[in-house]
Chain A
Amino acid sequence: AQKVTQAQTEISVVEKEDVTLDCVYETRDTTYYLFWYKQPPSGELVFLIRRNSFDEQNEISGRYSWNFQKSTSSFNFTITASQVVDSAVYFCALSGRPYNNNDMRFGAGTRLTVKP
């Protein structure tokens, strides 16, 4: 069975602080994809990153960085120097099939509030 756990329900930080959102996953598949999505108040989920199980390289995109650790089944997301516009609900997701996301499973989400 596939499962994604985001243990942090809500996080509140002050602008310019760094913040890490945790994601732990469970899967029996040897090939899988991990995702992070952002859901701003407007409602749509905005795709942030996809990582496949063979690529453990960490990735940095501007103020965003992701740490994929297969040994601990974690795919954590760090925002550096947070800004008010980063306030949103962030979802981690897992897909076990390599060619589509019919079985994409989402975590419960972490609500991030960045205060000015």
Chain B
Amino acid sequence: ETGVTQTPRHLVMGMTNKKSLKCEQHLGHNAMYWYKQSAKKPLELMFVYNFKEQTENNSVPSRFSPECPNSSHLFLHLHTLQPEDSALYLCASSQDVLRGGDTEAFFGQGTRLTVV
């Protein structure tokens, strides 16, 4: 199993649809993240979860709703998206240095989302 797995790999949805992105990490990490990667823009950090608690929400519109049921799983629920939300959504995980880990994040392969 790869360290961080994201499903689906590709998703096309209409503006009125509701869909969810899933992320699972098999590394025993305690922090998980959602990033958005748009064309010709830097990676944008969207949400951060530490020990299942959301610790950061970087002014993300409410049409994106994260859920972290446990430290291994992270979801991003999508509803009434806009075409400009089309992007690669990357999930990552990491482990605190204080708990024996290193600071680098490990990323999944991403979900390529297209909103039509």
Q: Determine whether B106 belongs to the interface, using a CB cutoff of 8 Å to chain A.
A: yes
Q: Annotate B71-103 by CB proximity to A: 1 below 8 A, 0 otherwise.
A: 000000000000000001010101011100011
In-complex Cβ contact of B107 among A45, A50, A102, A109 (8 A): A45
**Residues of chain B with a CB closer than 8 A to A107's CB:** 42
Q: Is B107 a contact of A99 with CB atoms below 8 Å? A: no
Query: How many Cβ-Cβ contacts under 8 Å join chain A to chain B?
Result: 66
**Residues of chain B with a CB closer than 8 A to A35's CB:** 104
Kindly name the residue among A35, A100, A101 whose own CB sees the greatest number of chain B CB atoms within 10 A: A100
Q: Is A50 a contact of B88 with CB atoms below 8 Å? A: no
**Residues of chain A with a CB closer than 8 A to B21's CB:** none
| Chain B residue total in the interface (Cβ 8 A) | 30
Q: Determine whether B56 belongs to the interface, using a CB cutoff of 8 Å to chain A.
A: yes
Q: Are A50 and B103 also in contact (CB < 8 A) when A108-B40, A109-B42 are?
A: yes
Distance, CA A33 to CA B96, complexed state (A)? 13
Q: Are A50 and B102 also in contact (CB < 8 A) when A44-B108, A108-B42 are?
A: yes
Q: How large is the interface on A (under 10, 10 to 19, 20 to 34, 35 or more residues)?
A: 20 to 34
The chain B residues found within 8 Å of chain A, CB to CB, are: 4, 9, 31, 33, 40-43, 45, 48, 50, 55-56, 88, 90, 92, 94, 96-98, 102-110, 112
Given A46-B107, A102-B56, A104-B105: 10 more A-B contacts, CB < 8 Å: A42-B109, A45-B90, A45-B107, A47-B104, A100-B97, A101-B94, A102-B45, A102-B50, A103-B45, A104-B45
> What are 9 pairs between A and B in contact, CB < 8 Å?
A33-B103, A44-B110, A45-B92, A47-B105, A99-B103, A101-B104, A102-B33, A102-B55, A105-B45
